[in-house]
Structure 1
Amino acid sequence: MFSRIVQTGSRQGEIVEVVLRNGWDYMRRLLTGGKVDEPKLPPPKVLRNILVELGPVYVKLGQLLSTRPDLLSPDYIEALSTLQAEVPPVEWAEIEIVMRKQLHLPLDETFSAIQLQPVAAGSIAQTHRATLKDGREVALKVQRPGLSAVIEQDITLIRLIARLVAQTDFGQYYDIVAIAEEFTQALRTELDFTQEAHYTDQLRQNLSNTRWFDPKQITVPEIYWEFTSDKLIVMEWLDGVPLLAATFANPAFEGDSDREREEISTLLLRAFFQQICLDGFFHADPHPGNLFYLRDGRVALFDCGMVGRIDPRTQQILLELVLAIVNLDAQRCTQLVLQLAPSVNPINRVKLQTEFDQLLRRYYSLNITQVNFSKLVYEVLQVARNNKIRIPGNLGLCAKAIANLEGIARSLDPNFNIPNKLRPMMTEVFQRQIVGEAPLVALLRTALDLKNLSLQSPRQVELLLDRVTSETLQWNLSVREVEPLRRTLDSSANRLSFSVVVGALIIGAAIISANTQSSQVYWVSDVLFAAASFLGLWLIVSILRSGQLK
C-alpha cells in the first residue's frame, strides 16, 4: 500500500515523506499495511506542522477542519484556527497571464491603472488594486496559477487515505469517505470564483434588507460581473483597515471610541444573528482579517468563499438550543441535540443528559459576563461527539463563526456578552414565529382553517363509524425496533424448544434402557442417545458462536 501511494506521483510521495518525517506512527502503520486500531491523530502542534509543511492546499484543509468542532476536540480546533499560509506573492508576469486569459478585452482597454505589487497574498489567490477605465476603484482577486492541478493531486491522496480509514470502526461510524468528499468539494468550490461572487452578492442583498440594524453601517463589496470569471473576481474597492487595528474616530460618536466599539460589536452580533437564525445563509469565516473598518465609519465583510446554510427546521431547533444553553437547561439540551442529530444507533439518553448537566452545572455560579459563550457551545458539541452523536457539519461551521465573532467582539468591548445581547432578539423572533409577520392575516387564516375543520369533521366521523360497524376498519401500526426484538424472541424460543427435545430424548432413552430386558430394542435407546447428543452439541455450538453465552 505504501509503495502504491508513493508511485502515484511525485506530489503524493512528497506528502507521504512529510507525514512520516513528523513521526505520525499511526499513519506509518496504515500506509505500510501494518495492524492498526482506532485512528489516532498526531498531537495538535504536530498536525499543524504537517499541514504547514505540506503547503497552501493543506493549510486550507486545516482551516476547513478548524470549522468542525463536531469532529475534533477543542485543542485541535484551537491549533488549526491559527493556520495561515506563509505564501510569497506570485510575480506579476504570471498573474498577468491568468488575467489576460480571463478578460474579454486587453488589460489596457479594461484598466487605466493596476498596482503590480499585491495588497494581500493567500494560499488560493492574491489581491491587487486597480482602476477601471470609467474611474471606479476595484480590487482584483486573482487565482494563483497552476493551483488546480496541485489540488487535484492532493484530492486523490485525501480520498485514498479516507478509504483506508473507512475500514476501521471509527471510519465507518463517522462516514469518513463522505466527510472527505465534503472537504474535497469545499476545496473545489474555493477554486470557482464565480461561486464566491454569487455568495458575495447574496450576502450583500440579505444585509441590505433588514430591520435588525442599520444596513448603512455594514457593507459587502459589490461584484462587477462583466469582468468576473472562474479565476478572477473584480469587486468594489473599499478603503479601510482591519477592524481590530482601527482607531475608531467616527465623528458620529463625538470622539467616544468606547461607545463606538460597543456599537460595532452589537452591529456584528445582530448581522450574524440575522444570517444564521433568519436567512439561513451565513459567512462562515468572520476572522479578524475578513472584517475591515472603513474610512467612512462603516464595517465591511470580505472573503465570502466559505459560507454555511441552515434549513428552516434546523434554524428553529438551533434557536431553542441556544436558549436552552443560555438558561443552562440540561434536559432541554438533550432533547434538542437528539432532534438535531437523530442516530440509527441506540443512545444512552440518561448518560447524555447527565453529562450535559455536569457541563452546565459548572456555569451555574458564574456571573453571566464571565461565561465564554462560544466555548460553552463547543463543549456542548463535544459532549454530543463523545456520545457518538453525529452533529451536522453546518452546525460546526456555525459554532466556528460564533467563536470568531465572540473573539472579535470581546477584543473591541471586554464587557461584551453574547447571552445578554441574544435574549431580546430571540424573544422577538419567537413572538414573530407565534403571531407571524402579519398577525391579522394569520388570525384570519386560522379562522378559515377552523371553519373548514368544522364542516369536514361530521363527514369524517360518519365515515369512521361506518367502517367500524361494517368491520372494514384496519389498523396499520409500525413500531420502531420491534423487528429485532421479534427475531431475538424467535431465537430464544427455538433454543428453548431444542433444549426440551434434547431433554425428552435423553429421558426416553433412559426409560427404554431401564425397563427393557430384550437386547433387540437396545438399539432404540442408542439412537435416542445419539440424536440427543447431536442436537445438544449443535445447540451448544450455536450459542457459543452467537457470543451470547453470558
Structure 2
Amino acid sequence: MFLTQTVPRQREILEVFLRNGWDYMRRLLTGGKADEPQLPTPAVLKNILVDLGPVYVKLGQLLSTRPDLLNAAYIEELSTLQDEVPPVPWSEIEIILRKELKRPLAETFKTVNPIPVAAGSIAQTHRATLADGREVALKVQRPGIDLTIAQDIALIQGIADLVARTEFGQTYEIKSIAEEFTKALEAELDFTREAGFTDQLRRNLSKSRWFDPTQIVVAEINWELTTEKLLVMEWLDGVPFLSADLDNDPNVKDPALKRKEITTLLFRVFFQQLYIDGFFHADPHPGNLFYLKDSRVALLDCGMVGRLDPRTQQILTEMLLAIVDLDAQRCAQLTLQLSDSAQPVILSRLENDYDRMLRKYHNVSLTQINFSQIIYEVLQVARNNKIRLPSNMGLYAKTLANLEGVARTFNPDLNFFDEVKPLITDLFRRQLLGDNPVRSLLRTALDIKSLSLQSPRQIELLLDRVTSETLQWNLSLRGLDGVRRTMDDAANRLSFSILVGSLIMGAAIISTRAQTTQLSFLSTTLFAVASLLGLWLIVSTLRSGRLR
C-alpha cells in the first residue's frame, strides 16, 4: 500500500528493515495490522539508521535527545551515532565554493587545503587562508544534500502518518515529533542560522561572574563570506578535548590541577548557558570540545542549540535541589509544572514512583551519584506516567549527560556536587534577590507600601458590600447539573400534585353544597380538570422511569 505511492527509495528502506529483522515496520509499510509498536533492540535500531544513510543518522541523533520517548538503553546506544561518511571530492566542493563566493576563489583565499579536516552528513570542513593572511575554517554543504533531505523528509512524514494511526503514535504525538525533526533538519541546511547561534553564544559567554571569559573561546564568524551553503569562521588550533596530553604540555605545571580547573570551567560555562542565559550549546560531545595550544577551551559546532524560558529555568533549578534532597514529593510537583499535557495524572502514583527511584540513592555518597543518570530516570518516570514534557527537556538532559560524561572521562576525580553546589547556591540567591539586590529590595518595599495603602480601602469595600447585601458569589460546581434538573422535576411534580389535590377538595366542597345549576357545573368542571392533570402527572412519572 505504502510502497505503491512513492519512489524506489522506499523499497530500499523496506529492504533495510527486512535485512535487520524489523517485522513491525514491514507490516506497517505493507498495510498489515501493527497496532502495538515493537521496536528492535537498541543495537539493531542503530544499525538500521546507519544503513539508511546520513539523514536517518541525524534522526537517531535527535531521538537520543528524547529520553521522554525512549528508555536509557536506546538513548545510550543512539548517543554513539556519528556522521561517518566518505568526503566529497574536492572538484565538487570547489564548484560549490565558486557559486557561493562573490569574488573569484583565487582573490578570496590565498590557499585552500583540498583535503577535508572533517566530513559529515550535511557538510565537510576545509582549512584555508584568506587573502589577508587569516586562518579560517570553511564548512561547505555537500552537493545535492538538499534534494536528498527533501526526499527523506517526505518519507519520514509518510511513516509518521502511518504510526500516528496506532495508539502509540497518538499517545506520543509521533506526527509532532516528525515535524520537529524535519524543521531541525531543514534548519541545518541554512548555515547562516548556525552562524547566528555561534555569535549569540560568543556574546553570552563574553561576560560572567562565575568564570574568566578569556579562558573560553567560540570562533568568530566571517559574515562577509558566509552564505546558506558556506560557513566561514575563525580557525582554532587545537585537539579534541579527550586527546589533550596535559602531562607533556610545557604550559602546564600541574596536570591534575589543570584538569580540575578545566572541568570546573566547563561546568560553570554550561550552567550559565542553561540557568542564566537560557540559550545553550546542546551537543557538547568530545569532538565539539577542543583544547587549544594556548591552554584555553573552545566550543565548536553550534548547529544544535536549546532554549529555556525563565519559568523553566526556575523549575529546573528547584528540581536540582529536590534531587539533591531526595524529595520525591517536590520532584512530582515540579514535573507537573513542567508538563505541557492536559491528560489527568494520579499524583500519588507519580510520587510513589519518584520515591522508589530516589530511594536507591539514600545511602549512596554524593560523590558516587551519576547526576545525569538521575535526570534520565526523572524523565523516564514522567514517561511511564504518560506525562508529556516539552521537547527541550530532552536536549537539556542530553547536554548534562554529555557534559558529565566528558568531564568524568577527562578528570576521573570529578565530584559533581562539589562543582555545582556553589552554582546552585548562587542561582537561588539570584532568584530571591535578582542581579541587583538593592533594586530588588526597593521594588519589594514599593510593593509592600502599595499593598499597605490599598488594603484598608479594599477591606472597607468588602465590608460595605457585605453589610449592604450587594456582595455576589459566583460558584461553579461540576457534576451538579443532573442533580439540579432532578430537583426541578421533583418540585414541578410536587406543585402539580398539590394543585390536583386542591382542585379535588374544592370540587368536593362545592359539590356537597351545590344548590344551583351553576355551582354543579363548576364542581363538575373542577373534577374534570383535576382528573386530566392527575392523569398527565401519572403518565409523565411512568415515562420518566423514576417511579421507584
TM-score, L = length of structure 1: 0.86
- CA gap 1:365/1:29 in 2 versus in 1, 3 angstroms: same
Matched letter for residue 68 of structure 1:
R
Please say which structure displays the higher CA radius of gyration: 2
| Structure 2: 5+ residue stretches without partners | 491-539
Aligned: 1:451 with 2:416: no
8 A Cα contact 1:321 1:333, kept in partner: yes
The worse-fitting range, judged by mean Cα deviation, of 170-179 and 398-407 is: 170-179
Q: Deviations over 1:85-137 (max 9, x none)?
A: 32100001111111111111111111010000001101111000000011110
2:77 to 76, 79, 82: 79
1:114 to 91, 97, 112: 112
- CA gap 1:490/1:284 in 2 versus in 1, 3 angstroms: farther
Matched letter for residue 327 of structure 1:
D
CA distance in 2, matches of 1:170, 1:247: 48
Cα distance, 1:252 vs structure 2: 5.7
- Which residue number corresponds to residue 325 of structure 2? 327
Q: Secondary structure at the match of 1:303?
A: coil
Q: Secondary structure at the match of 2:291?
A: strand
Aligned: 1:180 with 2:178: yes
Cα distance, 1:250 vs structure 2: 5.4
8 A Cα contact 2:3 2:11, kept in partner: no
8 A Cα contact 1:225 1:234, kept in partner: yes
- Which residue number corresponds to residue 379 of structure 1? 377
- Which residue number corresponds to residue 124 of structure 2? 126
- CA gap 1:488/1:472 in 2 versus in 1, 3 angstroms: closer
Cα distance, 1:409 vs structure 2: 0.6
- Which residue number corresponds to residue 201 of structure 2? 203
8 A Cα contact 1:224 1:235, kept in partner: yes
- Which residue number corresponds to residue 421 of structure 1? 419
CA distance in 1, matches of 2:404, 2:274: 15
Cα distance, 1:470 vs structure 2: 4.2
Identity of aligned residues (%): 65
8 A Cα contact 1:69 1:381, kept in partner: yes
Report 1:130-529 matches (<5 A): 130-248=128-246, 253-254=252-253, 256-341=254-339, 343-477=341-475, 483=478, 485-486=479-480
Q: Deviations over 1:323-365 (max 9, x none)?
A: 1112211111111111111542221211111111111111111
- CA gap 1:474/1:168 in 2 versus in 1, 3 angstroms: farther
Cα distance, 1:288 vs structure 2: 0.4
- Which residue number corresponds to residue 2 of structure 1? 2
8 A Cα contact 1:242 1:292, kept in partner: yes
CA distance in 1, matches of 2:138, 2:377: 40
CA distance in 2, matches of 1:534, 1:167: 43
Cα distance, 1:477 vs structure 2: 4.0
Aligned: 1:89 with 2:87: yes
CA distance in 1, matches of 2:472, 2:82: 65
CA distance in 2, matches of 1:189, 1:171: 25
Matched letter for residue 150 of structure 1:
T
CA distance in 2, matches of 1:342, 1:51: 30
8 A Cα contact 2:286 2:406, kept in partner: yes
Instruction: Give the CA RMSD over aligned residues.
Output: 2.6
Q: Deviations over 1:476-531 (max 9, x none)?
A: 345xxx54x4478789x79x99xxxxxxxxxxxxxxxxxxxxxxxxxxxxxxxxx9
- CA gap 1:488/1:286 in 2 versus in 1, 3 angstroms: farther
TM-score, L = length of structure 2: 0.86
- CA gap 1:48/1:434 in 2 versus in 1, 3 angstroms: same
Q: Secondary structure at the match of 2:205?
A: helix
- Which residue number corresponds to residue 52 of structure 1? 50
8 A Cα contact 1:138 1:236, kept in partner: yes
- CA gap 1:24/1:447 in 2 versus in 1, 3 angstroms: same
Q: Deviations over 1:273-322 (max 9, x none)?
A: 00001110000000001011000000111000000000000000000101
CA distance in 2, matches of 1:300, 1:463: 63
Cα distance, 1:475 vs structure 2: 3.0
Q: Secondary structure at the match of 2:128?
A: strand
CA distance in 2, matches of 1:462, 1:327: 45
Matched letter for residue 379 of structure 1:
E
Q: Secondary structure at the match of 2:136?
A: strand
Cα distance, 1:3 vs structure 2: 3.0
Matched letter for residue 81 of structure 2:
L
CA distance in 2, matches of 1:274, 1:108: 42
Cα distance, 1:253 vs structure 2: 4.2
8 A Cα contact 2:17 2:23, kept in partner: no
- CA gap 1:486/1:187 in 2 versus in 1, 3 angstroms: farther
| Structure 1: 5+ residue stretches without partners | 498-530, 537-550
- Which residue number corresponds to residue 527 of structure 1? none
8 A Cα contact 1:55 1:85, kept in partner: no
Q: Deviations over 1:384-441 (max 9, x none)?
A: 1111011211011011011111111111111212222111111111112212222222
8 A Cα contact 2:221 2:233, kept in partner: yes
CA distance in 1, matches of 2:483, 2:125: 68
Cα distance, 1:473 vs structure 2: 3.1
Matched letter for residue 18 of structure 1:
V
Q: Secondary structure at the match of 2:232?
A: strand
- Which residue number corresponds to residue 14 of structure 2? 16
Matched letter for residue 11 of structure 2:
G
Q: Deviations over 1:148-168 (max 9, x none)?
A: 111111111111111111112
Q: Secondary structure at the match of 1:409?
A: helix
Cα distance, 1:456 vs structure 2: 2.6
CA distance in 1, matches of 2:77, 2:282: 18
Cα distance, 1:472 vs structure 2: 3.7
Q: Deviations over 1:42-89 (max 9, x none)?
A: 111111111001111111111111111111101111111111232100
Q: Secondary structure at the match of 1:266?
A: helix
- CA gap 1:293/1:196 in 2 versus in 1, 3 angstroms: same
Q: Deviations over 1:448-480 (max 9, x none)?
A: 2222223333333333334434444333345xx
CA distance in 1, matches of 2:302, 2:290: 14
8 A Cα contact 2:3 2:10, kept in partner: no
The worse-fitting range, judged by mean Cα deviation, of 245-254 and 225-234 is: 245-254
Q: Secondary structure at the match of 2:404?
A: helix
Cα distance, 1:370 vs structure 2: 1.2
Matched letter for residue 2 of structure 2:
F
Q: Secondary structure at the match of 2:127?
A: strand
Cα distance, 1:535 vs structure 2: 8.9
CA distance in 2, matches of 1:246, 1:350: 49
8 A Cα contact 1:26 1:36, kept in partner: yes
- Which residue number corresponds to residue 30 of structure 1? 28
- Which residue number corresponds to residue 506 of structure 1? none
Matched letter for residue 119 of structure 1:
V
CA distance in 1, matches of 2:236, 2:83: 24
